Structure 1
Amino acid sequence: MCRLLGRAGLAALLAGGSLGLVATADFANPAQARAATKPPVQQAQPNVVVILVDDLGWPDVSSYGRSDVPTPNIDRIAKSGVAFSSGYVAASVCAVSRAGLLTGRMPASFGFTYNINDEGNEGAGLPLAEKTLAERLKPLGYRSAAIGKWHQGSARQFYPTNRGFDEFFGFLAGETVYVDPATPGIVTTPTKADANKPPFTQRRGNGVIVEGPDARSVANFDKYLTTEITDRAVDFIDRSAGKPFFAYVAYNAPHWPLQVPQAYYDRFAHIKDPVRRTYVAMIAAMDDGVGKILDTLERKGVRDDTIIVFLSDNGCPEQFGFCNPDHPWSWGKFTYLEGGIRVPFLFSWPRRLKPGGIVDTPVSSMDIVPTVLKAAQPKAPLPKGLDGQDLLASAQHPPRTPRMLIWGQEPVFAVRQGPLKLWRSQDWNQTHLYDLDNDPAERTDLSGTQAEARERLERVMEDWRAKLPKPLWPLHTTRKVVVDGRETEWVY
C-alpha cells in the first residue's frame, strides 16, 4: 500500500534508499548512458522539452518513492534535477490546464474557464490575445514543435502552427483511439465507463491524427500512438539540435481508452485487475518513450543545455476504475481536491541545477513560461501579466513567504498558502479548510477552529473571483461525487 512520507523519507527514496525506489542502469548511473554520446557544447540559450502526459495520478510514478508503477526513465529526469512533491496545475481538467501551461497565466483570468468538448464548443479555443510560449520564443530564434494532444481549439485560428509552433503532429480533441484494436499484438481493455463512450473502431472528428500547417490527415491507425509521438519527438530533436529548440511533447497516455501493446501488458501479470494492469502498462510504454527522448538529447550532446519539465495535465479520473486505490492523491480529476490538481512534476537543467532530490516548495505549471523566458533572455524583463515564478529559484531556495496558489472554475474554488488550503463551493454554499501537512487526505475541516485563517483565505478567493471576466463558453455540468470517501463537487 502506498503511503505519504515525510520530507526525509521522500528524499531518501529519491536517493535510492531501501524503501523501494525502482531503478535501472540508466537511472542509477546517468554518466554511463552518455558514454558514447557527442561531447556537450555549451549553448547561449537552453533547449526546452516539456513532456506533458494525460490523467496521470501523483503516485503513479516511482520518482517519489514506493509505487507499484516503475518509471525508470521518468525517474532519470528527477535524478538529474528535482522532483517537486507539491507540483500543481492550473486546473483539474485537460484543456483549461493546458491553457495555463502554454501561457503562464491563470486561464480563468482570460475567460478560459471550462473544458472544450471533443467536437469543439463553437468558437472555443485559446484566445488569440494570449501568447503561447512558442510565440514568445520565436523572436528569440527558437524553433518549436507541438507533438501529440492539442485541445486548445479546433478552429483554424487556434491551430498550433498559427499559435507560434513551426510544426505539429497530433490531434486537436481531448481524446482519441491509440490504435486500431484489430491490430495484431494490441490489448484493448474495457472499463466500467465505456458504455457511455464511442466504440474503438475509428478515429472521429478532431480525434483524427493530422500534421503540418495544412492539417493533412495521417494514415497511421495501425501504429500505436504513444510510440508515434515518441518517434516524432526524437525526429524533431535530431533535426533541431545545434540551434535552440522547444519541443512540446503532449502524450495522451495514459488517458482513456485503455489500449497497449501486448508486450507491455505482459510485464505486469502480477496485477490481477485487467483495467489497472492496462493503465500501468500504458504508463510503461510512455516511460520508454521518455527514455528515448532523453537518450536522443544525450546522443546529440545537448542534454546539459536542455530544460526538461515533466508533468501531468491533471490527476487521475476516478470514473474509469484504474486509479491507485491506496493513496489520497491518486484520483480527483474534475475536482479541487489535491488528487485533481497535484501532479507528478519533475524539473531538470543540468547546466544550471544540481540534483536536489525531493523539493516540497509548491510550484505551478504556470511557472514553466517565466522559467524558460528568463533562461532564454536573462537580462530582459519578463512580460507583464504572467502568473508564474521561476522554477530554478523554487528548486534552489525555499521562499521566505509561503506562496499563495489559487484555482477556480465557477462554482468551485480553492486557495492554498503554506499548509492551509481552503475549498469553496458557491452553489453548495460550503467552505472547508484543511491542513495539508497533518491531513493530506483533506478529511478534517478546520473552518470552525481556525476562523481567522478561513476568513483570510476567503477574502483572497473572493477578491480574485470578483476580477474574473465572464467565461468565453458555458459550463458543461457539475456533479456531486465521492472520491476516496470524501464528498466533493465535480466541475466539467
Structure 2
Amino acid sequence: MNKKQYYTAAKYTFVAAAAAVAVGMSHPKEAEAAPNVIMIYADDLGYGDTRLTNSTSISTTPNLASIAANGINFSEGYVASPVCSASRAALMSGRYPARFGFDSNFLARTYDDRNPTYSIASLLKNISSVNYKTMMIGKWDMGNTNALMPVARGFDSFYGIPGGISSYYPTNGTAPSDATFWQKSTNTVVTSQAVVSDQTLNVKEYDAGTGTYVKRTPTNYLTDVFTDKAVDYIQNNGGAAQDPFFLYLAFNSPHVPMQVPSSYYAPYASRTDLTNQQKVYNAMVDNLDHNVGEVLNALGSHSGYKWNNTMVVFVSDNGPEIGSAGRLQGGKHDVFEGGIREPFAIQWPSQYTNAGTTYTKMVGTQDLLATILRAAGSTATLPTQASTDLSPYVKGTSSGNPHDYLYWRYINEDGEGQTDQVQLAVSNGTYKYIRTIDPDTTVNEYLYDVTEVNPEQAGDNLIGSSGLTATKNALIAALNDWNANNPLREDFNDDLSGAGDTDPPYGYAQGWFAYNKDADAPNPDWSVNSANQWEGTGKGGIRSVQAGSYFTNFTYDADVMLKTSGKSGVIFRSSDHANGSFMFKGYLAQIEYGGAFRLIRMDANGTSGTVLAEKTSGLTVNTNETYHLQIGANGSALTATLKNAAGTVIATLSATDSTYSGGLVGLRVGSPNSTTNATTAFDNIVVLPQ
C-alpha cells in the first residue's frame, strides 16, 4: 500500500476548489448514470475525534475532512443505536432496530434471526434497469449463520469479520515487528513484540466455489488489509463502460483492542497530555484517516468518471468508548448526544455540487437506504417508512425537515459493567426528550435544547420548564406513538438469572423490570428458571412491567403456568409513570387457581380494580399446566381468550372500556393471602401492534 497521505495540509484548501471545478466539468452521462457507492463505516469513533465535527480534534484527519470539503457535512447526523449490532442492522435495513426487537447488542446477537432478510445490497440487485455489483469488506455483525451472512443478503462477495471483536494482528507470534499495542493488564504500550490480546484474529472470506466462509489469517495490520482489498475492487470496477458497484467498507477501527503500526504511534509516544491508551487510540484514528485517503485516491483524478460519479459516505456506528465525544455529553452505551450523534459526510461530485456545505437539519443513518436506492434509479416502494432520501434536501429542491422526529430505544445490558438500564429518547431537531428507567425502577426524565453549543450539560435539563410543557408533552406523545408501532417478543431463551452475582440483575432481555422485590432476599423475586421461563414468586401482588414499549392497539400473547395456587395474568395499557414511580392503572387478564378467568380494570395504583368480564363456572385451572392467554385491544374494545396447552379455547371474555387508551405491558402474580407465597412462570410473550 502506498503510505503517502492523500491530502497534505498544504493541499487542503485546493481540494474544495478543485472539486468545484471538477463538478462543473462533469459530463451529462455521468450525472445521469447510476453511481458507484462506497459506504465507509467506522467503529466506536467519537464526534470529537475528527475535523469533520471538531476543529480542534487531536487527530487532524485531513482525508475525512476532505469528504465534507468535496460534499456535504451533516452536523446533526445520527445513528439509530449507541451500540454496534443494532446500529448496523438499522443501517442496512433502513429501519429502527426496535422494529425487530434489537434494543441492545445482546438482543441483536441472541435473536439475530429477527434481522430483515434484505439489505441495501439486495435492494440494489432488484433494480432491473441497472446491474449493480456488490462487495462487503470489514465488520458485518448482523448474524453469523450462512442464511444471515452478507452473500445471503445481496452481496456478491465478502472479506472481513463476521461479528464481534477481532484482533488487528495475528496473536500467534507472527505479527510484524512494527506492531504496537496497548496492554490493558499493565497499562503499558508494547512495541516490536508479538501482539498479545484477549481477542483472536477473526477474519473470513466467502469462497464462491464451495459456498462457505473460509477462515483467513492476514499478517498485516487489518485496517490496511481491508483497504488494500477495497482499493483493488475500486480500481477494477465501476468505470464508465462498466456496471456500477456498491462497496460497503466497514472498518473495525478504532474499536478495541488498541493496536496500530508503530509508525502511527511514534508521533504520540512522548505526549504527556494523553494516557497510554489514548496515544494508541489516536494513532489508530490517524491510520483510519490515512486508509480513507487511500480509498479516495483509488477513484482517480477529480475530472475522472469514477471520482465524479461515485457517492462516498462516511459515518461511524456509535459514539466512543475510548475516544472523544467533543462538546457532546455521553458516549457508547447511552442515548445522550455523544452516543448517537456521529461524524457524517457524503460526497457525490456530479450531483452534490454545493461542495463544502454543512447541512444542519436532523438526519439518520436509516436515510442512507433511501438515498442510495433513489440515486441508483430505484422507483420501487421502499420496505421502510423510517428512511428518507436526503438528496433533494441536500441539493435544495426540497425544503423543510427530512424528519419531524427521530427515536431511540436502548437497553444498556451489553457487556461487563453495564447497568440493565432502559433508555428512551425522541428529538425534533431542536428539543430532545430522554427517559431512563433503572433496574431499581427509578425513572429520570430530561429535556434538552440540542442546538446549544454544549447540549445536555448537567445544569441544562429543561424538564421542569413551564414554558416548554407543550413541547415536552408533544415529544412524549410522539415517543409513545412510535413505541406503539414497534413489536415486543420475549421467549426468555437467555440465562439472565444472575446466578453467582452479588447483586443479581433485575432487568432482563427486552427491558423487563421486577417490582415489589424483597429487599432482604439474596435473589430477586423474578428470575429465569431452568426451563428458560420467567418466574415470579411472592406474597400479595408482585408484578413486572416492560418499561421500554408503549402500546395502544395490539395483540398480546403469553404462556402462563401457575406453579402454586394463586392468581396470575398479563397487564396491558398500564399507565406510564407519575411523580417518578410507575403506576399500575390499566387492564389485567387474570387466571385463578381452581377455576376463574377475569378481565379487570385496575385502579388505585393497581391495588384494586373493577371486573369488566369474567368466567367462573365450568372452568378448571390447575397448577403446573400451561395456559395460553391472548389479549386484543382496539380502541375501547377489549378481548381476552384463554386456551389450554392443546390450543383449545376454553374461555373468551370481551368488554368495552375507554378508561385507558394506551400504556405499557407486563406480568402479574398474586398469592392467596399475605402470608403464602405464590409462583407463576411466563413464557413466549409476543406483543404486536394492530
Same-fold status (TM-score > 0.5): yes
Is the CA contact 2:41–2:250 (under 8 Å) kept in the aligned structure 1?
yes
What letter matches 1:364 in structure 2? G
Which residue matches 2:436?
425
1:151-300 equivalences in 2 (<5 Å)? 151-180=141-170, 182=173, 183=175, 184-191=177-184, 200=197, 203=200, 207-212=202-207, 213-220=211-218, 222-241=219-238, 242-269=242-269, 271-272=271-272, 273-298=275-300
Query: Which position in structure 2 is the counterpart of 1:437?
Result: 451
After superposition, the Cα gap between the structure-2 partners of 1:193 and 1:448, relative to the gap in structure 1 and judged at 3 Å, is: farther
CA distance in 2, matches of 1:424, 1:211: 43
Question: What secondary structure sits across from 2:135 in the alignment?
Answer: strand
Give the fraction of aligned pairs with identical amino acids, expressed as a percent: 31
Match in the other structure for 2:124: 137
Match of 2:309 among 305, 319, 343: 305
Q: CA shift at 1:160, angstroms?
A: 0.6
The answer on whether the counterparts of 1:126 and 1:158 sit within 8 Å (CA) in structure 2 is: no
- Following superposition, the deviation at residue 324 of structure 1 comes to 3.0
1:209 match: secondary structure: strand
- Bigger-Rg structure (1/2): 2
Q: Deviations over 1:82-123 (max 9, x none)?
A: 1111100011100000011111111211222221489x52x5
Q: Using a 3 Å threshold, how does the CA distance of structure 1 residues 312 and 46 change in structure 2: closer, same or farther? A: same
Structure 2 length-normalised TM: 0.60
Q: 1:156 to 1:27 in 2, by over 3 A?
A: farther
How far apart, CA to CA, are the structure 1 residues paired with 2:107 and 2:182? 24
Partner residue of 1:386?
Answer: 385
1:111 to 101, 105, 115: 101
In the alignment, which residue of structure 1 is the partner of 2:405? 404
3-state SS of the aligned residue for 1:62?
coil
Matched AA of 1:238 = Q
Matched, 1:413 2:424: yes
Amino acid corresponding to residue 406 of structure 1 in structure 2: Y
Amino acid at match of 2:11: A
- Residue 239 (structure 1) shift: 2.1
Length, aligned pairs only: 445
Q: Distance in 1 between matches of 2:484 and 2:163?
A: 31
Q: Does 1:344 align with 2:339?
A: no
Q: Is the 8 A contact 1:148 1:170 kept in 2?
A: yes
In proportion to residue count, which structure has more helix? 1
Residue 392 (structure 1) shift: 1.8
Q: Which amino acid is 1:337 matched to?
A: F
Tell me the secondary structure at the aligned position of residue 373 of structure 2: helix
Q: Is the 2:52–2:65 contact (alpha carbons within 8 Å) kept by the matching residues of 1?
A: yes
Q: How far does residue 357 in structure 1 lie from its aligned partner after superposition?
A: 2.7
**CA–CA separation in structure 1 for the residues paired with 2:181 and 2:506:** 30
C-alpha change, 1:219 and 1:478, in structure 2 (3 Å) is farther
Are residues 24 and 337 of structure 1, via their aligned partners in 2, closer, same or farther at CA, if it must alter by over 3 Å? farther
Tell whether the 8 Å contact from 2:361 to 2:429 is kept in structure 1 after alignment: no
Alpha-carbon offset, residue 431 of structure 1:
1.6
Deviations 1:14-39 (A, max 9, x none): xxxxxxx993525633677999xxx9
Question: Alpha-carbon deviation of 1:409?
Answer: 2.1
Q: What is the Cα deviation at residue 356 of structure 1?
A: 3.6
Q: Give the conservation status (yes or no) of the 8 Å contact 2:19–2:70.
A: no
* AA in 1 matched with 2:376: A
In the alignment, residue 314 of structure 1 is paired with which amino acid?
A: N
Q: RMSD across aligned C-alpha pairs, in angstroms? A: 3.2
Shift of 1:56: 0.3
1:148 corresponds to which residue? Answer: 138
Alpha-carbon offset, residue 290 of structure 1: 0.7
Per-residue deviation, 1:418: 2.9
How many Å apart are 1:270 and its aligned residue? 5.5
- SS state of the match for residue 302, structure 1? helix
Task: State whether residues 51 and 65 of structure 2, in contact with CA within 8 Å, keep that contact through their aligned partners in structure 1.
Answer: yes
Relative contact order: is structure 1 or structure 2 higher (C-alpha 8 Å, sep ≥ 6)?
A: 1
Unaligned runs of 5+ in 1: 1-20, 480-490
Cα deviation code 1:205-258 (max 9, x no counterpart): xx34334341011121x2110001101111111222221100000000000000
Q: Are 2:329 and 2:457, in contact at CA under 8 Å, matched by a contact in 1?
A: no
**C-alpha spacing 1:266/1:194, structure 2 compared with 1 (3 Å):** closer
Contact 1:116/1:153, CA 8 A, preserved across alignment: no
**Aligned to 2:268, what secondary structure does the other structure show?**
coil
Unpaired runs of at least 5, structure 2? 1-6, 189-194, 412-421, 497-504, 508-547, 549-690
Report 1:16-95 matches (<5 A): 23-25=9-11, 28-29=14-15, 42=30, 44-64=33-53, 65-95=55-85
Structure 1 length-normalised TM: 0.82
CA distance in 2 between counterparts of 1:429 and 1:81 reads 42
After superposition, give the CA deviation of every residue in 1:169-210 in whole Å (9 maximum; x if it has no partner). 001122110003652111111347999xx9616626xx3433
Q: Which moved more, 1:225-234 or 1:263-272?
A: 263-272
Asked if the contact 1:132–1:163 (Cα under 8 Å) also holds between the matched residues in 2, the reply is yes
Shift of 1:430: 2.0
> Which amino acid letter does the alignment assign opposite residue 48 of structure 1?
V
Indicate if the aligned counterparts of 1:54 and 1:314 stay in contact, CA closer than 8 A.
Answer: yes
